[in-house]
């Protein structure tokens, strides 16, 4: 039984679907269903006997204790987090509460549960903390990629809150012996991503004939990782990773934001030619004032996970982006429900609400 926090979010949804489709594991999904959590994304697994859903906040100590006692997980995969940089700049308090306080509460609940286990079960238990490459700050254009010993230098309230949560997880290992592993991923993309993120935002704006806002001159570089590759890596780390270690997970697809938006426009020109008299969707690109503290470049060195675990990203960016655009084109009702916030009022059909 794997306890996944934030399992109704983008990466969590894809992780749970991967575990249930590709392994013999059971999953309990603990999610507060905040604005970015959408239980409808897991509708296809709701009736799977290996899937359990609990509507609870990781800041709720009593709920966490009940969840551990009821489901007796063999591992925790901690993905619950507030994760949008722009939102963290406008309102950092929720990021401090969820990403720092929530992680602390989850660590305490995990430690208490872990200490109650037999030695054999304690040795098997794992706490996987899913973090971000943004804790490292940014890189100059010609600087070497981040590796697992790169010093932390977060730029935004979001990345600072994730850096703080990383330090808590490390401390609970060093001080109490909790068997943890930390992962840092690069920018994810793929199916079920919340529409405020760059790629789905641009797809949906283009289809609506709205402006495609690009910060600054669009020269910021990110390493793009398809979510299917990411969740595969997370499961490999759960099964084969060394306790107390950090693993960086990247897609080896460094690209400027402007290049990404331009490729989206090219794919839409091919797959869904616009009827308006504007020619290409690229004519909707609009450069806007850059956001405060915008990092110049992220790049991930994945030598460690390749060498130790034999994991390599399988998806090229061009092929992955095509799949992503095609997915959004065929799931516009899913997107519309999110933009209308209808999903937040949908009944929770399966699981237990713990208050």
Bridge pairing between strands 352-353 and 212-215 = unpaired
Q: Which residue has the tokens 């209308």?
A: 340
Give me the catalytic one of 133, 223, 228, 229. 133
Which residues, in sequence order, are bridge partners of residue 288?
215
Report in angstroms the alpha-carbon separations of 297 from 134, 159, 220, 301.
10, 14, 6, 13
- Rounded to 5 degrees, φ, ψ at 20 are -70, -30
Q: How far, in Å, CA of 41 to CA of 26, rounded?
A: 18
Across 40-77, b (16+ Cβ under 10 Å) vs e yields: bbbeebeebeebbbbbbbbbbeebbebbbeebebbbbb
Give me the catalytic one of 113, 158, 189, 298. 158
Q: How is residue 351 written in tokens?
A: 């699981």
Give me the catalytic one of 31, 60, 82, 134. 134
148: annotated active-site residue: no
Instruction: Supply the DSSP symbol for 314.
Output: -
158: annotated active-site residue: yes
140: annotated active-site residue: no
Residues acting as catalytic residues: 133-134, 158
């Amino acid at each position: 039984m794997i306890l996944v926090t934030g399992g109704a979010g983008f990466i969590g949804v894809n992780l749970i679907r991967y575990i249930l489709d590709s392994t013999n594991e059971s999953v309990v999904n603990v999610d507060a269903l905040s604005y970015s959590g959408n239980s409808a994304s897991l509708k296809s697994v709701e009736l799977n006997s290996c899937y359990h859903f609990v509507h609870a906040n990781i800041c709720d100590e009593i709920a966490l204790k009940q969840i551990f006692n009821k489901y007796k997980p063999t591992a925790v995969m901690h993905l619950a987090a507030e994760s949008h940089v722009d939102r963290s700049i406008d309102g950092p308090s929720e990021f401090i509460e969820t990403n720092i306080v929530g992680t602390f509460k989850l660590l305490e609940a995990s430690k208490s549960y872990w200490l109650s286990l037999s030695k054999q079960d304690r040795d098997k238990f794992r706490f996987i903390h899913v973090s971000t490459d943004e804790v490292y700050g940014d890189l100059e254009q010609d600087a070497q990629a981040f590796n697992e010993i790169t010093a932390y230098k977060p730029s935004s309230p979001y990345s600072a809150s994730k850096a703080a949560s990383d330090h808590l997880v490390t401390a609970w290992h060093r001080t109490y012996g909790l068997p943890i592993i930390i992962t840092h991923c690069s920018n994810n993309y793929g199916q079920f991503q919340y529409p405020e993120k760059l790629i789905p935002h641009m797809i949906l704006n283009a289809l609506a004939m709205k402006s495609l806002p690009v910060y600054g001159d669009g020269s910021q570089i990110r390493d793009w990782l398809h979510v299917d590759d990411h969740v595969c890596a997370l499961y490999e780390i759960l099964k084969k990773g060394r306790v107390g270690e950090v693993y960086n997970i990247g897609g080896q697809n460094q690209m400027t934001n402007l290049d990404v938006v331009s490729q989206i426009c090219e794919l839409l020109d091919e797959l869904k030619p616009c009827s308006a008299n504007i020619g290409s969707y690229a004519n909707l690109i609009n450069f806007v004032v850059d956001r405060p503290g915008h990092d110049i470049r992220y790049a991930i060195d994945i030598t460690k996970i390749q060498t130790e675990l034999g994991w390599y990203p399988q998806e090229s960016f061009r092929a992955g982006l095509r799949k992503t655009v095609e997915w959004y084109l065929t799931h516009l009702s899913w997107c519309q429900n999110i933009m209308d916030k209808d999903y937040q009022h949908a009944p929770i059909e399966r699981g237990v609400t713990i208050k």
